[in-house]
């Protein structure tokens, strides 16, 4: 238990569906992150929020839409996804939002997404 929870743990959706992933952190951190993890590939940073403000958007397609209503909650809204979007989506949080070198990230267990 890392203090970061994600729901759902598994999700199967069709290309025309709309769904949302939810992340919640109980650590009092100021920054939250969405990552995509595909087999045998490095973690891909998708979005970063610092104090509820989006500070990074690494050229992510618009079919992925993040939302951060407060510093404890983060959502990833999904619509008209493609089969190549099937992956493990990880949420993480950290204290300083990447403003210090030792800013350790705490990860949730991830959502395993399958797009049919």
Among 23, 87, 108, 111, binds another protein (CB under 8 A): 108
Cβ contacts of residue 11 below 8 Å, gap of 6+? Answer: 19, 21, 111, 112, 113, 114
66 binds another protein, rule: CB under 8 A: no
If one asks whether residue 100 binds another protein (CB under 8 A), the answer comes out as yes
Q: Does 79 bind another protein (CB under 8 A)?
A: no
> Cis ω on the peptide bond leading into residue 55 (within 30° of 0)?
no
With beta carbons less than 8 A apart as the criterion, state whether 74 and 23 touch: yes
Question: Given candidates 70, 82, 99, 114, which one binds another protein under the rule CB under 8 A?
Answer: 99
Q: Which of 16, 41, 69, 84 binds another protein (CB under 8 A)?
A: 41
CB 37 to another protein: min, Å: 9
**83 Cβ contact partners less than 8 Å away, ≥ 6 residues apart:** 15, 115, 116
Least distance (Å) from another protein to the CB of residue 17?
A: 24
Phi-psi region of 40 (alpha: psi -120 to 50; beta: other; left: phi over 0): left
Binding site for another protein (CB under 8 A): 2, 4, 40-43, 45, 56, 90, 98-110
């Amino acid at each position: 238990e890392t203090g970061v929870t994600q729901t759902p743990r598994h999700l199967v959706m069709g290309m025309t569906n709309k769904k949302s992933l939810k992340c919640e952190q109980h650590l009092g951190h100021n920054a939250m992150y969405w990552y995509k993890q595909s087999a045998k590939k490095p973690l891909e940073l998708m979005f970063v929020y610092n104090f509820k403000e989006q500070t990074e958007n690494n050229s992510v397609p618009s079919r992925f839409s993040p939302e951060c209503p407060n510093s404890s909650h983060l959502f990833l809204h999904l619509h008209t996804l493609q089969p190549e979007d099937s992956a493990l989506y990880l949420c993480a949080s950290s204290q300083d939002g990447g403003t210090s070198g030792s800013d350790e990230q705490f990860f949730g267990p991830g959502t395993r997404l399958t797009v049919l």
